Structure 1
Amino acid sequence: MESVTFKNRTWDVAADIRVPEGFDPAKKYPAIICAHPISSCKEQTSGAIYAERLTALGYVTLAFDASHQGASGGEPRYLEDPATRVEDFRCAVDYLVTLDYVDEDRIGVVGICGGGGYAANATMTDHRIKALGTVVAANYGRLMREGDLSPDAAVATLEAIGRQRTAEARGAEPHITTYIPSSPEEREKAGVTDVDIVNAVEYYRTPRGQQPGSPNKLRFSGLEAAVGFDAFHLAEVLLTQPLQVIVGDVPGAFGSYRDGFELFDRARSAKKDIFVVQGASHYDLYDQPKYVDQAVAKLESFFAENL
């Protein structure tokens, strides 16, 4: 593994590039970009699990930290901006095509959770990406709009964001909130029992998956664009590349089960498949071998056929 950077606009995006065993720089290799979930970083599931496993199958892999997050540059910090997140993928492709050992006609993407939604959106408009795999893909815009599931949740959210932006414009400190409870104890005290939230806290806020690049911080005033974002917009028109969707059959609050089926149904792709991992929840497919093994096996056959 080598730590590298590539540019998005004026800042550096931090990434880890992995090459297969027996790597020969004189040869051409297929490459797969691995995209992390919302609030995550490249040292977690996208890099340490999926990039590692795909590299072992013979692919060059590139796992990166989203702009404004992790070790990547971009101000302000802790920003979750969909347009920038999607542009990160295009910049990652820009970087890969400069490497003599990467076959520019065999570049694919794997996105996990929110990274899967962004990966789908990027693949629609960058057809240098030849195959798309998603693992528990989530549409972050849908999550933001649903809020507490009331009809006016999105409007109430936008009004609150607007008030905070006004305050910051007048000199107030930025409001940095959290994605999830900061510890299992905090989650228990709040009485939250949904499987996705329980497992998110366990993954991100305990030694199971906790990493410095994933600090559970989110800039609230930067969320307006996310509320209006649909990761799957125009999939029925522009998403023509081969598609492999992977979901677990244990549904939770993040909605990746239904998002996966929506992406599958909407995609124009002539070659597409959806694989449901039985007994797996959203976070089981981040790092639990019993379920990750099934996902990787499906990705192995998919990319072998399409890259």
Structure 2
Amino acid sequence: MDRRDIEFDADGTTLRGWFYRAAGAAGPAPTIVMAHGFSAVKEQYLDGFAEMFAAAGLNALVYDHRNLGASDGEPRQEMDPWAQVRDYRSAITYAATLATTDRERIGVWGTSYSGGHALVVAAIDRRVKCVVAQVPHISGSESGRRRVRPDQLPGLLARFDADREARFRGEPPGLFPVVAADPAAPCALPGADCWEFFDGSTTRAPSWRNQVTLRTLEMAREYEPGVYVPRISPTPLLLIVAPHDRLTPPDLMLEAYERALQPKRLVLLPGGHFDPYIAGLAEAGGAARDWFVQHLAG
């Protein structure tokens, strides 16, 4: 597989990742811009998707979000969803400068939190000619309401307020665990499947950190990418939903799909939120590959 390391500027911050060259391409080829979900880095199984795309004649540009993994940015472990949306657009700009990219055939792929970003970017950036959103984040307010136990919510909101005052005094941002082995322990992504995915991928992704800033959680609760879904058309949209997803509620994804206009396609993938990365990679990656090939390489 032809893969090289890349880096590019995103509003003054250097982002780093990989570029996979489309197999058999003699000239410019379609390019898929990709990034991972909440707190995750590219080594956590994005190479499998990129390799499938490259084998089908599609370039793949994979990068780490700012403040995470190999990319620069401060404060570390902070995820501002709108900064990440702007970085997707910077990645598209970078991809368009490459001689190996057909700038009229650029697609975006996102998963989980970045699946929400993919929806927003496809709606606001017409350079995007095709989009795949895998188990995407749809509504911060509704997901937050379901994810945080009612008895823990007052304490979390109080921590947000205290953290804001501490930052005002010049102190470093507070941190919060992403996942926890104890199902009763407060964390950003509760559930045994969340712990198993992240804890099980630490060997292949040593740059991943089990913490995010408290401000990350506050911004996530305010982020509503689902409202952009009706604006994606006429860009072709593929939505991949796991019916047993306990992290990004399937009913929110299905409601978003109903609001989307044509052309669109829905794929229901057996299993839960993390199955597409490993057990369901062939099906999830294959559906995305075929959608991109149909609309970008056909």
TM-score normalized by the length of structure 1: 0.86
Separation in 1, partners of 2:13, 2:172: 24
Map of 2:278 onto structure 1: 287
Deviations 1:110-155 (A, max 9, x none): 11111111111111111101111122112362433544264995x8
* Aligned twin of 2:30: 30
Counterpart AA for 1:187:
D
Aligned mate of 2:200, from 206, 217, 233: 206
CA-CA distance at 1:285 after TM superposition: 0.8
| Cα drift, residue 176 of structure 1 | 1.4
Q: Does the alignment pair 1:133 with 2:132?
A: yes
User: Amino acid of the residue matched to residue 274 of structure 1?
Assistant: L
| In 2: Cα distance, 1:156 partner to 1:266 partner | 35
Q: Aligned partners of 1:225 and 1:99: how far apart in 2?
A: 33
List aligned pairs for 1:136-155, cutoff 5 A: 136-139=135-138, 141-142=140-141, 143-148=143-148, 150=150, 153=153
Distance 1:234 1:207, change over 3 A: closer
- CA deviation vs aligned residue, 1:173-192 (integer Å, no higher than 9, x gap): 431111111xxxx336x489
1:273 equivalent in alignment to 2:265: yes
Instruction: Compute the RMSD of aligned alpha carbons.
Output: 2.5
Q: Residue 13 of structure 1 contacts residue 72 of structure 1 at CA under 8 Å; is this kept in 2? A: yes
Distance across 1 between alignment mates of 2:203 and 2:32: 22
Cα deviation for residue 31 of structure 1 reads 0.7
Is 1:44–1:209's contact at 8 Å kept on the other side of the alignment?
A: no
Counterparts of 1:208 and 1:73 in 2: how far apart (Å)?
20
Identify if the C-alpha distance between structure 1 residues 159 and 298 changes in structure 2 by more than 3 Å, giving closer, same or farther.
Answer: same
CA distance in 2, matches of 1:276, 1:7: 36
Residue 296 (structure 1) aligned with residue 285 (structure 2): yes
Counterpart residue number, 2:18: 16
Distance 1:55 1:77 in 2: 31
Question: How far apart are 1:37 and its partner, in Å?
Answer: 1.3
Distance change >3 Å, CA 180–CA 151, structure 1 → 2: closer
Structure-2 change in CA distance of 1:136 and 1:222 (3 Å): closer
What is the distance in 1 between the residues matched to 2:190 and 2:251? 14
**Paired residue for 1:187?**
182
Structural mapping, 1:7-86, within 5 Å: 7-24=9-26, 27-46=27-46, 48-86=47-85
Q: Cα offset for 1:22?
A: 3.4
Q: Partner of 2:191: helix, strand, or coil? A: helix
Larger displacement relative to structure 2 (208-217 or 54-63): 208-217
Query: Residue by residue, what CA displacement relative to the aligned partner does 1:200-219 show, whole Å, maximum 9, x if unpaired?
Result: 21121125775123212101
- Tell me the CA shift for residue 230 of structure 1: 0.2
Does 1:257 pair with 2:236? no
**Structure 2: where are the runs of 5+ without partners?**
none
Cα displacement string for residues 196-250 of structure 1 (whole angstroms, at most 9, x for unaligned residues): 7212211211257751232121011344333221012232235431011111222
The separation in 2 between residues aligned to 1:206 and 1:187, in whole angstroms, is 16
Q: Is the 8 A contact 1:82 1:118 kept in 2?
A: yes
Aligned positions, number: 291
1:236 aligns with 2:246: no
Q: What is the match of residue 92 of structure 1? A: 91
CA contact (8 A) 1:203 1:209 kept: no
Q: The residue matched to 1:163 in structure 2 has which SS?
A: helix
Q: 1:250 to 1:209 in 2, by over 3 A?
A: farther
Structure 1 residues 251 and 42 mapped into 2: Cα distance closer, same or farther (>3 Å)? closer
Q: For structure 1, which runs of at least 5 residues remain unmatched after alignment?
A: none
Q: Quick one: which amino acid aligns to residue 245 of structure 2?
A: P
* Matches of 1:258 and 1:215, distance apart in 2: 30
Q: Residue 217 of structure 1: which of 195, 207, 211 is its match?
A: 211
Distance 1:98 1:298, change over 3 A: same
Helix, strand or coil: the match of 2:33? Answer: strand
| Conserved? CA contact 2:276–2:283, under 8 Å | no
Q: 1:106 to 1:256 in 2, by over 3 A?
A: farther
Q: How far apart, in 1, do the equivalents of 2:232 and 2:289 lie?
A: 25
The more displaced of 161-170 and 100-109 is 161-170
State the distance in 1 between where 2:139 and 2:215 align. 16
Answer whether contact 2:139 2:226 (CA < 8 A) is retained.
no
Query: Against the structure 1 CA distance between its residues 144 and 302, is the aligned structure 2 distance closer, same or farther, given a 3 Å change threshold?
Result: same
- Matched residue, 1:248: 242
Counterparts in 2 of 1:71 and 1:140: CA distance versus 1, 3 Å: farther
Distance 2:23 2:147 in 1: 45
Shift of 1:7: 1.2
